[in-house]
């Protein structure tokens, strides 16, 4: 089965073609970073307008790159939620129209599930596994028992890890999105230079909290010590506080579930320190740690096409009443 995937949940318009036997045939991502950068974050109305402009050329490019016309496509998968409603509706209406015109089955993909299964584009992982999903909008741990079998083990009580990275970068005077800037700066800094707070909550909790860390950084930057600090050391120490908690809680959750497999996903899992520490700590705990390559950690449609292919070929089809949804369907 060959599936066209479309993703427009936030500030990336993406399309991809995935084939069960040939694998990923194309993956196109059009980023709106230049549009939102000036505002220090994603402006929902601008995002929808950009998706409207990009969706057709992006889908055309993905089909061309995959040398696939409508006849070669067996189904269409599209992100239905969670995300920005106006943005989601652009991709959703486009996908519904294609499905109707081409007479191909449609699958409404959950964005979080797409991230959680993205690892299969490059790696073989056995079920069950524990997935740490860390992005701009979400920071959660899941037990993944199979395709469509996802149970949330815990999540953030306040900010998502990516949001904490982005807000910290803003406080340090860098643009949006800031996670990647902090990652780069931190390579030249000392992660043990400043002791920023780690919110561990209860030791057996799979929940997270990053708002205290954000406040601690703001207070520190406004202090005389903060004003004189090397920005690389601040970035490395701040990043370490996030990474340490993420890795500790992910491994702890997997151990409590009795599952020796951990999968990372979402934009923040592109972070080099998180990747290195998850591998090191995972190996020390006897755990198999699988990571998608960086381009498949951040938003893309390859993961949507893959999930769509698995679900459509299992007979799971969405009806014409498929609608977009803003909030996560998973609860703690």
User: Which residues in 170-209 contact ligand KG4 (CB under 6 A)?
Assistant: 177-180, 183
Ranges of H-type helices in the chain: 33-36, 44-65, 85-102, 111-117, 161-171, 179-186, 211-222, 224-228, 231-257, 272-284, 294-297, 302-313
Nearer to Zn ion, 99 or 135 (CB): 135
Task: Answer yes or no whether residue 166 interacts with Zn ion by CB under 5 A.
Answer: no
Are 76 and 3 in contact by the 8 Å Cβ rule? The answer is yes
Q: Give the H/E segment covering residue 77.
A: strand 75-81
Contact positions with Zn ion (CB under 5 A) in 123-142: 135
Site for ligand KG4 in 4-43 (CB under 6 A): 10
Site for ligand KG4 in 233-272 (CB under 6 A): 266-268, 270-271
Q: Which is nearer to ligand KG4, 75 or 137 (CB)?
A: 137
> Which one-letter DSSP state was computed for residue 178?
-
Q: Which residues contact 323 (CB under 8 A, 6 or more apart)?
A: 80, 92
Q: Report whether 19 contacts 75 (CB < 8 A).
A: no
Give me the torsion for CA of 222, 213, 164, 111, rounded to 10°: -170
Q: Write the DSSP symbol of residue 298.
A: S
Q: Which residue of 299, 301, 302, 307 would you call a contact of ligand KG4, by CB under 6 A?
A: 299
The DSSP output letter for 203 is: T
Least distance in angstroms from the C-beta of 90 to Zn ion: 16
Q: Which stretch binds Zn ion (CB under 5 A): 73-81, 121-129, 161-169, 292-300?
A: 292-300
**Residues 118-147 within binding reach of ligand KG4 (CB under 6 A):** 135-137
Question: Which entry of ligand KG4, Zn ion, none binds 81, CB below 5 to 8 A by partner kind?
Answer: none
Size of the site for ligand KG4 (CB under 6 A): 19
Residues of this chain that interact with ligand KG4 (CB under 6 A) are 10, 135-137, 162, 165-166, 177-180, 183, 266-268, 270-271, 298-299
């Amino acid at each position: 089965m060959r599936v066209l995937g479309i993703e427009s949940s936030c500030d990336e318009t993406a399309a991809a073609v995935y084939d069960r036997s040939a694998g990923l045939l194309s993956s196109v991502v059009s980023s709106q970073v230049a549009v939102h950068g000036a505002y220090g974050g994603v402006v929902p109305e601008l995002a929808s307008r950009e998706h409207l402009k990009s969706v057709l050329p992006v889908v055309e490019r993905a089909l061309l790159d995959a040398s696939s016309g409508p006849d070669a496509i067996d189904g269409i998968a599209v992100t239905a939620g969670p995300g920005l409603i106006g943005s989601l509706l652009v991709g959703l209406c486009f996908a519904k129209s294609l499905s109707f015109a081409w007479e191909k089955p449609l699958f409404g993909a959950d964005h979080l599930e797409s991230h959680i299964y993205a690892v299969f584009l490059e790696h073989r992982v056995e079920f069950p596994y524990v997935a740490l999903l860390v992005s701009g909008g979400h920071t959660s741990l899941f037990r993944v028992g199979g395709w469509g079998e996802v149970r949330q083990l815990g999540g953030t009580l306040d900010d998502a890890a990516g949001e904490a990275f982005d807000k910290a970068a803003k406080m340090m005077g860098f643009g949006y999105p800031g996670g990647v800037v902090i990652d780069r700066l931190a390579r030249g800094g000392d992660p043990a230079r400043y002791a920023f707070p780690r919110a561990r909550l209860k030791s057996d909790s799979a929940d997270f909290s990053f708002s205290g860390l954000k406040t601690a950084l703001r207070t520190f930057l406004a202090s005389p010590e903060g004003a004189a600090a090397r920005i690389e050391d601040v970035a490395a120490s701040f990043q370490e506080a996030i990474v340490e908690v993420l890795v500790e809680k992910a491994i702890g959750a997997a151990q409590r579930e009795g599952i020796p497999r951990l999968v990372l996903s979402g934009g923040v899992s592109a972070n080099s320190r998180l990747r290195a520490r998850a591998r090191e700590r995972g190996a020390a705990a006897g755990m198999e740690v699988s990571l998608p390559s960086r381009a498949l950690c951040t938003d893309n449609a390859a993961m949507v096409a893959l999930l769509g292919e698995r679900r459509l070929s299992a007979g799971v089809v969405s009806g014409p009443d498929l609608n977009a949804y803003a909030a996560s369907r998973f609860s703690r």
